[in-house]
Amino acid sequence: MSVRTLTVVGLGLIGGSVAAAARRAGSVTQIRAVDADGASCAYALERGLADEAHTPEEAVALGWFGPDASDLVLLGTPIPATVGWLRRLVDLGYAGIVTDVSSTKRAVVAAAEDALAVAAQRGTVPYRFVGGHPMAGSERSGVTAARETLFDGAYYILTPTADTDMDAYRTVHAFVSTLGARVISVDAAAHDDAVAIVSHVPHVTAAALVALASTRAGEAGADLLRLAAGGFKDMTRIAAGSADLWTGICLDNAAALTAGLDRLQDVLAGFRNAVAEGDAAAVRSWLAEAAEVRRALPAQWVPATSALRELTVPVTDRPGVVSIVTTALGRAGCNIEDIEIDHQSEASAVLRLVLTDEGDFEGMLTSLVEHGFSPQLRPLAEGDA
């Protein structure tokens, strides 16, 4: 199934950029936008981000969330609103695919499971949910900051669960890939722990550096901040992000964030002690190791076809099978370039995944075998691309 009709709920930076990137890709034939702010809707229409744009009440009245009204509904709203929409879509009878862009996943995944349980109790056809989180952003917010290139080369995380429908996962994976992103799959809890370290702690740290400089400027005179070099400005750029948005993120991921901040304090304390003691060897070792790790981080990268590999995994169509396979790949650092699901019968299928040349392939294969699968990995020939 491909996404031909897309409904984006929430015209912020991410929702607006999804619409813009989908428009650029050209595979979606109709884009609808929903936002409580009339000015945001007007902007989306003016800039061609959407074919139609309305407030939630107007969109509901127009039947935009009827059973087959859209192939995909993407929730680009803050987490409390996303949780509300997950239940509201059940009440409205929507039966397509739903995904979100929330930067923390535990609460959203749990809300989706609760909403779908309500649908099951009512005996109604439920939507199919696939959690998502694009690892892309900006210090700017709102639809006016949206851009079609935001996801180019960026990682886009999907968080399948034991209840994730295989075809829905494939559809969302394919759609996200058209936005220019590189998809990886991880468990929702593992996602929240990881982004606390690589996204949330850095944001708090940037804000702390700005607060430190601001305090010192008050003590030493306003000229101090004028002396801020490029390094300081680069490190603290993200501190200019929306305070309302980041308050929600910090509190939604409080346990993982506080654990990450505790670890950061331990790391800084170790370095502080080395400096206080005049231990040049320890200081240099600490800085050199950090520099080496930083230089090893990959830049934006697109693999050559000759570097791609095809993984085939025969599976039974049972709850959680996609989550098990894709999570095993994510833990091994293997990135999925493409995925197909070849249904052999009502109860069996073959997952065909194209992988980039990253990750621990041996560890990935071992993990899949331990889970009872019989995977096969081969180079992807030029003629297969």
Q: What's the CATH number where 124 sits?
A: 3.40.50.720
Q: How far apart are the first and last CA of the chain?
A: 20
Say whether both 165 and 28 belong to one domain.
yes
In contact, 381 and 198? CB cutoff 8 Å: no
Using alpha carbons, select from 125, 89, 68 the residue that is nearest to residue 9. Answer: 89
Read off the pLDDT of residues 144-186 as tens digits, 9 standing for 90 and up: 999 999 999 888 989 888 888 888 998 999 999 999 998 888 8
pLDDT surpasses 80 at 372: yes
Q: Which two structure tokens, joined as six digits, stand for 298?
A: 């990959």
Say whether both 28 and 133 belong to one domain.
yes
Read off the pLDDT of residues 301-331 as tens digits, 9 standing for 90 and up: 444 445 678 899 998 867 678 888 888 887 7
From CA 197, how far away is CA 208, in angstroms rounded?
A: 15
Decide which of 186, 213, 238 is a domain's last residue.
186
Which strand (E) or helix (H) includes residue 252? helix 243-252
pLDDT classification of 298: cutoffs 50, 70, 90? low
In contact, 191 and 159? CB cutoff 8 Å: yes
Say whether both 13 and 159 belong to one domain.
yes
Q: What's the CATH number where 235 sits?
A: 1.10.3660.10
Using alpha carbons, select from 73, 36, 33 the residue that is nearest to residue 53. Answer: 33
Q: Which two structure tokens, joined as six digits, stand for 97?
A: 């695919």
From CA 302, how far away is CA 257, in angstroms rounded?
A: 32
**173 lies in which domain range?**
5-186
Read off the pLDDT of residues 115-155 as tens digits, 9 standing for 90 and up: 999 999 999 989 999 999 998 877 678 899 999 999 998 88
Say whether both 157 and 10 belong to one domain.
yes
Strands 30-34 vs 97-100: parallel, antiparallel or unpaired: unpaired
Considering only the C-alpha atoms of the chain, give the largest distance between any 2 of them, rounded to a whole number of Å.
74
Say whether both 100 and 220 belong to one domain.
no
Say whether both 179 and 225 belong to one domain.
no
Of residues 380 and 82, the one with the higher pLDDT is: 82
Number of domains forming the structure of the chain: 3
Read off the pLDDT of residues 246-267 as tens digits, 9 standing for 90 and up: 888 888 888 889 999 999 999 9
Say whether both 276 and 323 belong to one domain.
no
Kindly report the backbone phi and psi dihedral angles of residue 33, in degrees, each rounded to the nearest multiple of 5, phi listed first: -125, 140
